[in-house]
Amino acid sequence: MVKELVGVIGGTGLGDALAAKLARVERHEVQTPFGAPSGPIIVGTLGDRRVAFLNRHGPGHRFGPGDVPYAANIFALKQLGARAVIASGAVGSLREEIAPGDLVVVDQFIDKTFRRTGTFFGGYGAVHCEMADPTCDRLRATLLDVARPTGIRIHSQGTYVCMEGPQFSTRAESKMHRAWGGDLIGMTAMPEAKLAREAQMCYALVALASDYDCWRPHDPAKGKQTLIEEIISNLQTATDNCLRLIEALLTVQTPLVCEDCACRKALEMAVWTDPKQIDAARKVGLAPLFE
């Protein structure tokens, strides 16, 4: 019997490989109060679990990191019934010990984005979610448990600095991010993680290290083409390992959705506005967030 729907957000390579393993596949074109998501959501079953996959950047990588419709993506998954999200994304490493090709189960973020819709509640009222622990400890622990038998090189924690982009960091910025305590640098985890919390969804992120960020000089003997080939190879290795990890997670018997998890109660004390002051139509439109 199918037990639960779990959302998966990632890139085209991961999505194509995962879709090939799903049974009873359906394609959903979803509309939300925040517009359309990045693309169709592919829903199917893997074992006794339903899976909803969404390509973050859309078909053909049409959305750059600053243009991804993050709010529509998360809202659409919640609207379809997902209560937990496993996300993946490529990053640069800010630490010598996080080598290209490694995976990191992220536990903290530093948000440097500034152009993106970072909340569902603009114009709704004052809504303040706790973000001290921005990822779901329960999902993270399950990911690490299923990773152990696989032999995948994986780091149990890491702080992800999310920059606006689309340009990469200057060397001075890269060194600053290291001084801040950042372990990874990327462009896509925020506001995705914040929106998942506002949607009362459990959220975990597996980061795929493609290369070292520019704090670490490249080998001057290697040309640009060689460096690009190395990055693509590292990313492919990390993607293959991430697919193995996510497949192992989705087939484990441990529940991935838990109604007693604190993530599932994120709005209980978050709405500060007098309910009588909240527009009735907005309440109806955002009702899926409160389910």
Set out the domains of the chain in order of their start, with CATH numbers: 5-281 (3.40.50.1580)
The pLDDT assigned to 285 comes to 96
On whether 212 is known to bind a ligand per the annotation, the reply is yes
What is the pTM (predicted TM-score) of this model?
0.95
For residues 279 and 122, what is the distance between their CA atoms, to the nearest angstrom?
12
pLDDT at 228: 86
Q: What region does 165 belong to: left with phi over 0, alpha with psi -120 to 50, or beta?
A: left
pLDDT at 207: 96
Would the annotation count 177 as a binding residue? no
| Residue whose entry in the numeric block shows the structure tokens 């896509």 | 188
Do 46 and 92 contact (CB within 8 A), yes or no?
A: no
Please answer whether residues 232 and 208 qualify as being in contact, where contact means their C-beta atoms are separated by less than 8 angstroms.
no
Give the pLDDT score at 192.
98
pLDDT value at position 12?
A: 65
213, 260, 274, 279: the active-site residue? 213
CA–CA dist 26, 22 (Å, integer): 10
Query: Binding site annotation covers 56?
Result: yes
Separation CA 4–CA 64 (nearest Å): 31
Is position 145 annotated as part of the catalytic site?
no
pLDDT in tens, 220-230: 887 888 888 88
Is position 57 annotated in a ligand binding site?
Answer: yes
Which of 186, 184, 179, 145 has its CA nearest to residue 164?
186
Identify the pLDDT of residue 1: 41
Among the listed residues 63, 62, 21, the one whose alpha carbon sits nearest the alpha carbon of residue 42 = 21
Q: Which residues of the chain have pLDDT under 70?
A: 1-2, 12
Active site residue 211: yes
For residue 186, CA distances in Å to 34, 111, 120, 209, 280 come to: 24, 10, 23, 10, 38
Read off the pLDDT of residues 126-143 as tens digits, 9 standing for 90 and up. Answer: 999 999 999 999 999 999
Catalytic option among 211, 260, 274, 279: 211
Position 19 scores a pLDDT of: 80
